[in-house]
Amino acid sequence: MIEEQLVAEAHGLSRWERHKFMLLVGLTIATALFLVWIALGLYNSSGAAQLDLSRPGYKSVQSQVTKDDTFNGYPSTGAMNKAALDQFRGLYAPRATQATGVDSFGGDVMSDQALGLDDPSAPSTE
């Protein structure tokens, strides 16, 4: 009897009420595809696609990339003693003064030099 009641109620529903869940799923998928289309358009138009060396078209030039291993960071393992804390402070203090020494509201805050992206070995154009 319960099944008959459910069938009777389903026949009494309008077309919108019967298919609104499927419409919701379809609109969700369409929205996701639209947002991915926008994201890929921005990826290609911004030039980021040309910088992505993991793309299959750049496999031949991956071997020419040089890795800069000059980072002198603090080790993630080891003893926690006064010498380790002094070493950490010695590495941290110059970086902290460099980070806080930039005028946050100035015009050159996003310059290559302020971000540490300038290449000292590159020839000067001046």
Confidence at 91, pLDDT banded by 50, 70, 90: confident
Q: What are the pLDDT digits (tens) for 37-63? A: 999 999 888 877 776 767 676 777 777
pLDDT digits (tens, 9 = 90+) for 8-34: 887 777 877 778 899 999 999 999 999
Tokens of 76: 């993630």
- Helix (H) or strand (E) holding 66, with range, is none
Q: Which residue, 67, 87, 91, is CA-closest to 79?
A: 87
Average pLDDT, the chain: 79
pTM of the model: 0.39
d(CA 52, CA 61): 11
- Show the beta-strand stretches assigned E in the chain: none
